[in-house]
């Protein structure tokens, strides 16, 4: 038995999230299909977390166990990528201890939301950023997001359908920054509830729009 750890990058705009779902295109299912094509074995791919529909990943970690394969580990990423859509790339494959579990051994996760805060938006990055044409008060957003740091019960920041028994999570870092007309929201924590980061990001947009509420109700801009 061998335990293989994958580091994965993907463009999530064409997928219904990470988790396998019947008759819906998903990241987990596509990679499992590629593994079976390359090795001849069906596997259960374990991800460090589940991303929602449309979410991109720069360093998603997953692992799977396999009885045997003749493919050298240094060739595994190339072999899998040859069977995957271009929107999914295996950046690295490595053999790890049999006890390694991508989910249970994950220490922290980081989410980024990028907001294009220019009036006209962008053509090139339109699928990677959220366009907000009304100027945001970034200083207010910075003040507000700091309250999320630490251990809190985030039951008010989860969407229906959350399967987790506890809604208590720890946020190690919560930050808002701006550069060249873009606003960056970063959250690093030990875990996140279903749609939790998306709801927090929408809340931050609402905070940033308060001084402009006379122009348009900010609730129309929630993520």
Q: Where does residue 163 rank: exposed (0-12), middle (13-18), buried (19+ CB within 10 A)?
A: exposed
Q: What is the pLDDT of residue 162?
A: 63
Q: What is the pLDDT of residue 216?
A: 43
- 60-100 pLDDT, tens digit per residue, is 999 999 998 888 999 999 999 999 999 999 999 999 999 99
- Joined tokens for residue 217: 């109700």
Same fold flag, 2-96 and 109-221: yes
Active-site residue, from 52, 116, 175, 206 = 52
Residue 214: is its pLDDT beyond 70? no
Q: What is the pLDDT of residue 219?
A: 40
- 22-62 pLDDT, tens digit per residue, is 889 999 999 999 999 999 999 999 999 888 888 899 999 99
Which distant-in-sequence residues (6+ apart) come within 8 Å of 5 by Cβ? Answer: 61, 62, 63, 93, 94, 95, 96, 100, 102
User: Whole-angstrom Cα distance, residue 79 to residue 2?
Assistant: 17
User: Whole-angstrom Cα distance, residue 139 to residue 207?
Assistant: 10
Domain 109-221: give its CATH architecture.
2-Layer Sandwich (3.30)
Quote the crossing angle between the two packed helices 73-81 and 27-39, to the nearest 10°. Answer: 120
Question: DSSP letters along 19-54, please?
Answer: S-BTTB--HHHHHHHHHHHHHS-----EESS-PPTT
User: Whole-angstrom Cα distance, residue 72 to residue 79?
Assistant: 10
**Poorest-confidence range of 124-128, 147-151, 183-187?**
124-128
Mean per-residue pLDDT for 92-111? 94
- 155-164 pLDDT, tens digit per residue, is 888 876 666 7
Judge whether 11 counts as a catalytic residue: no
Tabulate helix, strand, coil % of the chain (nearest 5).
Answer: 25, 30, 45
Q: What is the pLDDT of residue 163?
A: 65
Residue 123: is its pLDDT beyond 90? yes
Q: Residue 223's pLDDT band (boundaries 50, 70, 90)?
A: very low
**Poorest-confidence range of 75-89, 128-142, 169-183, 208-222?**
208-222
Domain covering 2-96, topology? Alpha-Beta Plaits (3.30.70)
Give me the sheet containing 2-10, strands edge to edge.
Answer: 46-47, 57-66, 2-10, 88-96
Query: Where exactly are the structural domains of the chain?
Result: 2-96, 109-221
Q: Residues 193, 19, 109, 104: is their CA dihedral positive or negative?
A: positive
């Amino acid at each position: 038995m061998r335990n293989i750890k994958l580091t994965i990058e993907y463009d999530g705009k064409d997928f219904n999230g990470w988790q396998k779902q019947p008759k819906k295109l998903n990241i987990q299912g596509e990679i499992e299909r590629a593994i079976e094509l390359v090795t001849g074995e069906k596997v259960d791919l374990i991800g460090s977390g589940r991303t929602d529909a449309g979410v991109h990943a720069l360093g998603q970690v997953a692992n799977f166990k396999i009885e045997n394969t003749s493919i050298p580990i240094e060739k595994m990423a190339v072999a899998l990528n040859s069977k995957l859509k271009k929107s999914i790339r295996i950046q690295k494959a490595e053999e790890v201890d049999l006890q390694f579990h991508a989910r249970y051994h994950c220490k922290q996760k980081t989410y980024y939301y990028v907001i294009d805060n220019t009036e006209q938006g962008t053509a090139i990055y339109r699928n990677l950023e959220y366009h907000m044409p009304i100027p945001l008060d970034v200083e207010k957003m910075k003040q507000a997001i700091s309250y999320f740091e630490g251990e809190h019960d985030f039951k008010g920041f989860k969407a229906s359908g959350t399967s987790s028994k506890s809604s208590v999570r720890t946020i190690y870092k919560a930050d808002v920054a701006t550069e060249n007309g873009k606003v960056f929201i970063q959250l690093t924590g030990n875990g996140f509830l279903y749609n939790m980061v998306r709801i927090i990001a929408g809340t931050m947009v609402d905070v940033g729009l308060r001084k402009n509420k006379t122009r348009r109700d900010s609730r129309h801009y929630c993520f």
